[in-house]
Structures are given as C-alpha cells and as structure tokens.
A and B are shown apart, each in its own frame.
Chain A
Amino acid sequence: MNTQEARQVIFEVLGDIAPEVDPSIVDDDLDLTEQLDLDSMDYLNWMVGINEVTGIDIPQRDVSRFLTIAGAVGYIVEHSS
C-alpha cells in the first residue's frame, strides 16, 4: 500500500467516525484526537477500522504512531505487504 492509498483508508474510516471532518483541513502532524475532538472510543474505533480494512494489527506498543495522520500513514505503508 502506498502513501496515497494509506491516506485514503485512514480518511475513509475517519469519515465513519467523524462524518463532518473535511480531510483538507486536517494537519498531518498535529495530534488527531485534539484536532478532531475524538474521544478514546472514537480513537479505538478508528484503529479497529483501519485494522479491518488493511488487516494490519496495531499492537498496544505502536498506538503512539497513530497520534497523527503522518504517523499512521507511515505505519500502514511500512506494515502492508
């Protein structure tokens, strides 16, 4: 999966959780939960959604990679076959 595809997955799943979010205004390098007012359940659901679409597990020790869009994109690209 390339960067573009990873971004697409990330925002598709985010669209289910926060439908009002306009991807163009999200800063890739800022804390996602603060930017989009996500609570811990939203955040978990987002990671579960990414796992369901990509098949990539996100162990607890790697959760911090998903604090930003940039981190999540990098993680998905690294771990997708």
Chain B
Amino acid sequence: MIDFLLPSLGADMDVAKLNCWLVKPGDTVHKGQIIAEVETEKATLEVECWHDGVIEELLVEPGPARLPVGTLLARIRSLDEAAQPLAPHEPPAELVTTPPAEPMHEVSAQPPPPVRHLAHELGVDLAALGGSGPDGAITRDDVRRAARAPTPETAVPFVSRPTRVRATPRARSLARSRGIDLADLPATGPQGMVSAGDVERTARPPEIIDEPEDKVSAMRRAIARSMSHSKREIPHYYLATTIDLDRSVKWLEAANEERPVTQRILPAALLIKATALAAREVPEVNGHWVGDGFAPAPSVHLGVAISIREGGLVAPALHDADHLSLDELMSRLRDLVNRARSWRLKSSEMSDPTITMTNLGDRGVETAFPVIIPPQVAMVGFGRVVDKPVAVNGRVLVHPVVTASLAADHRVTDGHRGGLFLASIDRLLQEPENL
C-alpha cells in the first residue's frame, strides 16, 4: 500500500487547502495523472500521482482546512498488490509504505523467531508491519523492506511518536494526517488498540482560514516570505556580461520566416535553452541548499519567472529543459505561461525548479539583478535586447546585444564558477543552430 502525501509545493509553501478530488476509491490511477486540486497562496495546483495503482481510500475531505505538506491524503494500492498479492515489491523510495494487510493484522500470531530476530537487529517494529506471506504472515523480506523504507517520522516530520502504540492502520493513517500523537489518545478499540474512532473523537478541529483572501494579496505575502528568507539567508553575489546576439537573432528570424504564427519561436526560448544547457555544464549552480550543504540536482528543471497581470509572479519549472528541442520548449513555455496566468499549475512545477531565470526584456530594462528563490542557489536574469556598437574583428558594428546577469549563492560557488556559467551561456548563444 502506498501512502499518498501532500507533496512539496515550492519554496516556503508549507500548507494548502484541498479543493477537490479528481478520483474516487476504486479508480485506477497512473503515474503522472492529476488526482487532486489544491490551493496555495501562489496558485491553484494540480497534484500528480507518482505511482500506478488503485485508489484504496481518500482520507481528507475537500474543505477550507489548511493541510501541512506531508499530510496523508489517500492510500493507493499498487497494481502489483492487486494482481499478485504475494509478490514482493520494492517500496517507493520517497514515500512511506504501509502494510498491504488485514486491518487487524496486529492480532495475528507472532512471526517465527528468525523473523523476530531480524526485526530486532534492524530496529523494525513488527507491530507496524503487514505480512506478504501466506495468510498475511510477516516474512524476513517484509522486515528488510521495512528497514529500507523511510520511517513515517522521516516522511511526515510533524508527527511525533516516541513510543509504539497499538493502533489499527486506519487510526495510524488518520492520526498521521492530522498530526496527532497516538500516545495521547484513549484506546477503546479491539485488543486495547487505538481505533479510528478514537482519533476522530480527539482530532482537533482543522484550522480554518478566517476570511477568504484575494489571490493577489496571498501571492504578495508568499513572495514577501520567500524573498525575505532569501535575502536573510543567502549570501548573494552578482555578475553580469553583455552577450552579442547577432547570430541568434539572425538565425531566429530565418527560422521564423518559414513558420506559421502558431509555430513561431520567441527569443526567450533560445535564452532558456542556453541557460539550461549551461546549468548542465556547471552543475554547481543547479540544485538546492539543503540543511547546511549543497545538493546538486540530477536534472535541469528550469524555473521561469512569469509575471501575473493582476500583480505578483510565479516561477514554475520547465522540466528537463536542457533536453527539449526549441519547438518542444516553446510549446511547453506557452502552455506554462497560459496556465500560470490562469492560476492552474501542477504541484511538481512549483516544487521542482533547480535554477530559475527571469527575462525582463519585454519591460524595457537592460539589466536584472535577481534575488535567488530558496532553496535554489542561482538565478539568471536577461534584460532587453538592444542594438549597440560592438567590436568585431577590429571593426565597430552595430549588433543586437543582451545583458545576462547571475545572482548566485556564495556558500556554493565563487565568482569564478559563476563567470564560467555566464560564459557558457554566451558560447551556446553563438551557435543557435545547435540549441
């Protein structure tokens, strides 16, 4: 059984309201499918499911309650479980696995001594395990899997459970989703276990948002929190360079001449692709500051700052931007901008950016001085493309140029690496046909 938790929703976004479910118990779901809609201060987000399976139960009702990231929203039975209940399966790395078991498995007979011994060695609580063996018996494989899986405390950090309390799985789920310590509850269930009813009766009423607030004010507050965090915590350094865009502009004009308006490529697509490729070349700018160290990201999910007409901005990710062709990139960018401006983004787009770029060229400014979006460690800015005199092979020519700037986290990189990153962007823009 897979616990479906409220995923991370982006920088400094730690609560959301559940607007609606798009699935019901018994529905088959697929990896990448949108199964719920939640609302944060910055956007209405479509929450994706990251597993194939069947919805076992939905544990949270849509409503105004503010749910912390990590809240248990639903339980999903994996397809393996449905088809072959005895086959062992790897637990998903990032999620808590809970037993594919009878609701009252804790009352079943004790596992044989070798299993108990292994559980003791690995520090696994047998009372919390479901068995995949005959008649739900716990096997050594079950114990090993449980030892490898992240503990509920890791995945849902707001739950504090120092001692193991006997409780039904449903009660555990409910308690976890509401941040309640089972140890605090009266146990009136069978065999002296805490039942779901015990949790329901004790549950604090969910925190209700006092008054509906307009989206723009909420977004402003979210930006204030994120940017204050950034300026307080991140020692920024700034670099800028002027990039000759003559080749890129000419190449783009020729390419667009052949294309209908529906397939036209904007200069921003070239800048995005060059930035994403450069981030792959200089991996120290692509990733997150986690705890007290830098965690490089294995992929380049380029956040794109998109201004909202009513005010504010969001910076959702173009996933794997370094691997997209310019046509794919342009079509994804159009889709992303349109959805951002109609407040409809996916949760992964808000949580995944590994580096962000802002393009303020349309607003007339020549140079941007970006503020890094935590926990990212770099942000790239592009200004307006302007015609300027440039020296080319000893002659002065007028070429379109753009100022590319970098704000980077000095805890992770120094000016030298930052300079190499901007130089990579420059070099890549000199060969637009290879982007």
Contacts and interface: CB of A to CB of B under 8 A. Distances in A.
B318 to A, nearest CB: 13
Interface stretch (B5-13, B93-101, B150-158, B259-267): B259-267
Contacts of A51: 260-262
Contacts of B264: 44, 60
Given A39-B362, A57-B260, A60-B259, A44 B309 contact: no
* Chain A interface extent, by class: 10 to 19
Given A39-B363, A40-B362, A60-B256, A47 B261 contact: yes
Contacts of B309: 18-20, 37
A45 B362 CA distance: 15
Nearest to B330: A44
A77 B309 CA distance: 30
Nearest to B336: A41
B307 to A, nearest CB: 7
> DSSP majority for the A interface?
helix
A59 B266 contact: no
B242 interface: no
B307 A41 contact: no
A44 B253 contact: no
A41 B260 contact: no
Contacts of A40: 266-268, 361-362
B261 A58 contact: yes
B76 interface: no
A67 interface: no
Which 6 A/B pairs are nearest by Cβ-Cβ distance? A39-B362, A60-B256, A58-B261, A41-B337, A51-B261, A60-B257
8 contacts: A19-B309, A33-B362, A37-B309, A40-B361, A41-B266, A41-B268, A47-B261, A60-B264
